[in-house]
Amino acid sequence: MSTKAIAPRFSEDLFPLTLNRLQRQTARSGALDGRALGVIYLDALLAATLTVGAGVYELWILALVLLGLSFGFAFKALRNPGAEQIGPCIGDVLKARETHDDRTIRAWLLDDLIDDVEANEQALASKGPLIGRALTFLVLAVLVELAGRLLQ
């Protein structure tokens, strides 16, 4: 982040943009976690289906391994931090008003919000590719299972 002081008027314009960005990051984080949970659910459902209906062909074992990989990537995506940085504690801001002027607090708030946006971007950047890998292995598992049933 730049060390140049931010002009008060420019600061006024940045606040809504920064807060909007935090809201979008929080929504995106929830959506990515929802996708990861959906993949985990499908992995478990297909794994149960594979083990109950395992045929004489050996491809079901490969499909089960692929589902395990899919589950692992989805679980890792779920365990990775999401948009956890959502601004400063309101109590801290109120306490700071006792010793600092509003202009100083506003600059501090804006710096804190910008830092939170940057931290969230880094955290969310790893979730998407993990879910993509989980979905790839899920699709591969389904294709292997279908191929095994066709070859049976």
The answer to whether residue 3 sits within a structural domain is no
pLDDT digits (tens, 9 = 90+) for 45-99: 998 888 887 665 678 888 889 999 999 999 999 998 887 766 666 677 677 777 8
pLDDT at 134 over 80: yes
The arithmetic mean of pLDDT across residues 28-36, rounded, is 91
The answer to whether residue 24 sits within a structural domain is yes
The pairs formed by 143-152 with CB atoms below 8 angstroms and a separation of 24 or more are 144/59, 144/62, 144/63, 144/66, 145/46, 145/50, 145/59, 145/60, 145/63, 147/59, 148/55, 148/57, 148/58, 148/59, 148/60, 148/63, 149/55, 149/57, 151/57, 151/59, 152/55, 152/56, 152/57
Q: Which two tokens stand for residue 84?
A: 């956890």
pTM as predicted: 0.74
The answer to whether residue 2 sits within a structural domain is no
| Percentage above 70 pLDDT, the chain | 84
How many domains would you assign to the chain?
1
The answer to whether residue 22 sits within a structural domain is yes
The answer to whether residue 1 sits within a structural domain is no
The answer to whether residue 152 sits within a structural domain is no
The answer to whether residue 76 sits within a structural domain is yes
The answer to whether residue 52 sits within a structural domain is yes
Structural domain that includes position 46: 8-147
